[in-house]
Every structure is written in structure tokens, then in C-alpha cells.
Amino acid sequence: MRYVLISIALLMVCGPAHADLDEDFTKVEAAFEQFKKDNPKTKNWKSCRVKKLKDAISFCIYDAKHVSNINALKGIPINILVLGGYDISDISALKGMPLERLDLAYTKVMDISALKGMPLESLDISETSVSDITALKGMPLTILYLSESKVSDITALKKMNIGILDLSDTKVREISALQGINLFKLSLNNTKIKDISVMKGMKQLSFISIKNTQVTDISALKGMKIRTLILDGLDISDISALKGMPLTRFSMRKTKVTDISALKGMKLTELNLDRLNINDISAVKGMPLTLLSIRKTKVTDISALKGMKLTQLVLDGLA
């Protein structure tokens, strides 16, 4: 679960796109006063303020609990809006806004059709009840967080220019819609995804986390320039496809891997091999490891660790 600071919301209206900053400032001030009236359960507005900057206007809300009504924002030219953690369910007031960044994580939002046509570059709807993302089709999104939402179909993402995508803990079962997208960070944890062959052409992909999925074949990763790879809980035994990868962080806890020789020569700094049926860790010799965990393995000889500058070594439960 991603950590989100739910006590802070920041709204910013960027100036270059609006010639009359004074006029916009007056609009935002009025919107703020109405915003307070529309959320009577919120008692502490002392830390909240509207401020005119050099070329922008900021609308800041701190510790404003019980915010649920955002209708006062209708028609305000907002570019950045962070509302994660509030009791918001209706976002129709956002329709037509020139939003570039929007955070609705941990809200009660179910319908995002009001976002259609927006120039959004970053969107977070993690832990919401949103199931339909067709409104996102054609958006210039580069960052999209959908973890723990009700999304199951991602065809709307076809041919988009997304760089960071999190589909963890969703009902998504297949990711063929990602074909041709040059992602560099992808998280699919705790899904029923089986086939990751679509990743084969993702040359920029440097972070992959597919723990607790139904993936049994990782050959599609062969030759990729992955730096961080998390394979925990997979039904895999062969990791030969990883040979020669520039990995720096790698975890394959609770898999069926018994041979880690494919890791030899890697420049790993963090390695987690917990609960593996392995007894030989000679492949780690010479690695610049700072963290190594071999909890509940069959390792009895740790001489390969001699001379390492480990700051964290977990050995409990060895055979």
C-alpha cells in the first residue's frame, strides 16, 4: 500500500496560462469562502490560505477533516489538485478544468467520467471504487496509479505514453493493452496476471514488481535492463533469463528457485532470498551488498559474505 498524507490538499492555479492573475486570485478567494461554507463539518480552517505567488495562485488546505463537497471549485482554472483521503464522492465540479495533476486516492469516488478530455499527466485513483477508466482514453498521462481500485479492463490505455503504472491489487487479468507503451516502472502485485510477454519490447522498463501473481514464466525479461525486480511468491524455479541483468535490487522470496547461479557477477546492493530451498550462496561473492536476507533457507556456509560491507544481514531460521 502506498503511503499518502491525507491531511494535506494543495491546489495551484498556474499563471502563464492566465494573463489576469489578479482576476483569477479574486475567483480563488471567493471559491475558498464558498468551499468553507459547503463543508460545515470542517471546523479548523486556521492553517488554510489563498496566496498569490509571482506567477501563480496557491490554494492550500491543511488538516481540513470532513471535506466532502468540492462544488465551489467549479469553473476555477486549476492545474494541480490533491484531494487524497477526503470524503469526496462527486467530482462533477471538475469537468472542463485544465488539470494536469489529480490525486483522488482513498476517496469515495466511483465515477471519473468528468475527467474526459482533460490534459492530465498524473492521476492517482488508488483505493477507490472506480471500475471504468474509459474517460482516460487519449490523455497525455505519464503517471497512473490504479492500485486497489475496482478496475479490471485497461484497454483504454492502449497507445498511451505512460511511464509509471501501478495495477497492484486490482482485478486486471491481462495486460496486452500495454503493447508498445514504453513504461519504465510497472507494478502488478497481487493480481491474477499470468502472461508478461508484453514486457519484452519495453526497453525503458527498469522497475518491475509482480509479486503474488500467477506468472510462471519470466523468459520475457531476458536481456532487459531492469534495475529493481520483485518476484516474491511466484511459482517459478528457473531464473536463467536474469543472467547478465544490471539488477541492483532483487527479491524472490517464497519461490521454487533452488539455484541462484544466474545472479553471479551482478552488482546487487539488496537481495532477498527468504524461504528458498537453497544451500549455496557462493554466487553472491563480490557483490556490493548492503542488505541480504536468507531467512529460513538451507544455507549453512556463509563464507561468500567475507569482506562485504553489509549493513543488514538476516540469517534467522537457517537449516
Q: Which CATH class is domain 1-151?
A: alpha beta
pLDDT of 299 above 50: yes
Tens of pLDDT, residue by residue over 194-236, are 999 999 989 999 999 999 999 999 999 999 999 999 999 999 9
Tens of pLDDT, residue by residue over 76-118, are 878 888 888 889 999 999 999 888 999 999 999 999 999 999 9
pLDDT of 172 above 50: yes
* Residue whose C-alpha is closest to residue 115's, from 86, 88, 92: 92
pLDDT of 182 above 50: yes
Q: What is the pTM of this model?
A: 0.90
Worst-scoring range by mean pLDDT, 12-26, 166-180, 240-254?
Answer: 12-26
pLDDT of 6 above 80: no
Tens of pLDDT, residue by residue over 110-130, are 999 999 999 999 999 999 999
pLDDT of 57 above 70: no
pLDDT of 7 above 70: no
Residue 41 in grid coordinates: 463539518
pLDDT of 166 reads 99
CATH of 216-319, one of 1.10.4160.10, 3.10.450.230, 1.20.1090.10, 3.80.10.10: 3.80.10.10
* Residue whose C-alpha is closest to residue 231's, from 260, 202, 204, 265: 260
The single residue listed with the C-alpha cell 467549479 is: 74
- The rounded distance, in Å, linking the Cα atoms of 249 and 143 is 22
User: Do 216-319 and 1-151 have the same topology in CATH?
Assistant: yes
Residue 128 in grid coordinates: 477507490
pLDDT of 11 reads 53
pLDDT of 207 reads 99
- Quick one: pLDDT band at residue 317, thresholds 50, 70, 90? confident
Half-sphere exposure of 207 (CA within 13 A, CB side): 10
pLDDT of 149 reads 99
Q: What are the boundaries of each domain within the chain?
A: 1-151, 216-319
pLDDT of 76 reads 84
